[in-house]
Amino acid sequence: MSAIGILATGAYVPKQIVTGEDVAGPAGVTPEWIERKTQIAARRYAAPDEATSDLAAHAAAQALDRAGLDASAIRYLIVSTSTPDSPQPPTSYLVQNLLGTTGAACLDINVVCSGFVYGLALARALVAQDPGTYALVVAADVYSRILDVTDRKTVVLLGDGAGAAVVGPVPTGGFLDMELSSHGHAHGLISVTAGGSRTPTTHETVDNGDHLFRMDGRGVRDFVMDTVPGALRTLVERAGHQLADVGHFVPHQANGVMLSELVTRSGLDHAHTHRNLERYGNTGSASTALALDDAATNGHLHDGDLVLLAGFGGGMSLGAALLRWTGQR
C-alpha cells in the first residue's frame, strides 16, 4: 500500500477585517484588553451574501488547483463545519455543486474545532480502502452569524474562514499516525442550545439569544491543558518518535495566551509553532487548516519535516495527526 498524505492545501478568508476597536465597545472591553487576553488583533467576517459553502468552495478550489487536479478526480468530499448553511441539505452537497465534483461521495462532519483533523483521518481511511483515489477535506465556519456582540468571552475570539486539503497517495512519508478522542461528559463547555430537536427555534429562544454561541472559557482551558499534552505525547511516541523530533506544530488557533501555555505544557517549545490567530482569530474548524496552509505556502514546510497537527474544541473533542511532510505539488 502506498503512503497517504496531503498533496496540497488551500485557504480562503473573507475580505472584511474586524479589529479590536470594532468589537471592544459592545463587549464592554478595550482593544488593549482583547490583545492582552487573547493576542488577537483582527478577525474576518463573511459578507452578507457569503455562507459557509461559499468560503469552503473557494478554499477547496485553490487546493485542487495546487494539486493539479480537476474537481472530477475527487472521489470523497468531506466538509467539516459547525455552522452549516442550513440544517438540510448537507453543506458538502452545496460545495460539490459549486465545485462540480460530480459523483463524489459527500458528507458533513461536525466535531467543531477538531473537525479538520477528524476529516483528514476519515479521508485517509477512505483512500486506503480505495487505492488510487483522492479525497478533499474542507473545514469552514462562519461564526460571525451566531455571536452575541455583548459577550466578551466569545465575540473577541471568533471569526470566519475556510481551509482545505487534498488527500491521496504520496511517494513517501504522509500520515504516520492519528489520535482521535471524544469527551462527552464535558459537552456543556461549548454550546448553541437552541435550533435543534431538543429546543426548536421559537420567538422566545431568539429573544433570549439561545441560538447564539456560548463558551465556558475557563472550563475549556482546563480541558485543553488536562487532555491535549498527554495525547500529543502518546501519539508521537506510538509512531516511534520523541517530541524532540517534531519540527512543526500546527494547532487549533483558539487563544494566543492559551496556545503559548499549551506549547510549553506539551514539551514543544523547540518546534516551530505556526500561528495566524493574530490576523484571523479563532476560525473554528477552519483554524488548523488555515494555519497549515500558511505554513505550507510560505515555504516553512519542507520534504521530510515531521509535522504535528492538533485540533481541540466543542464536544469536547481532540484530534491530532503526525505526518512526514511530502511537499505540495
Residue 183 half-sphere exposure toward CB, CA atoms < 13 A: 19
H/E element, 312: strand 306-313
Query: Is 185 designated active site?
Result: no
Query: Is 298 designated active site?
Result: no
Q: What is the three-class DSSP state of 185?
A: helix
Task: Report whether 153 contacts 128 (CB < 8 A).
Answer: no
DSSP string, 26-84: HHT--HHHHHHHH---EEEE--TT--HHHHHHHHHHHHHHHHT--GGGEEEEEEE-SS-
If phi > 0 it is left, if psi is from -120 to 50 it is alpha, else beta; for residue 305 that is: beta
Q: Count the neighbouring beta carbons within 10 Å of the beta carbon of residue 32.
A: 10
**Quick one: how many helices (H) and strands (E) in the chain?**
10, 14
Query: What is the C-alpha separation between 182 and 29, in angstroms, rounded?
Result: 34
CA 220 to chain centre: 16
- Annotated catalytic residue, options 58, 211, 248, 252: 252
Query: Is 106 designated active site?
Result: no
Backbone angles phi, psi at 122, to 5 degrees: -65, -45
- Annotated catalytic residue, options 211, 274, 276, 282: 282
- Annotated catalytic residue, options 58, 106, 113, 248: 113
Which sequence positions are flagged as catalytic? 113, 252, 282
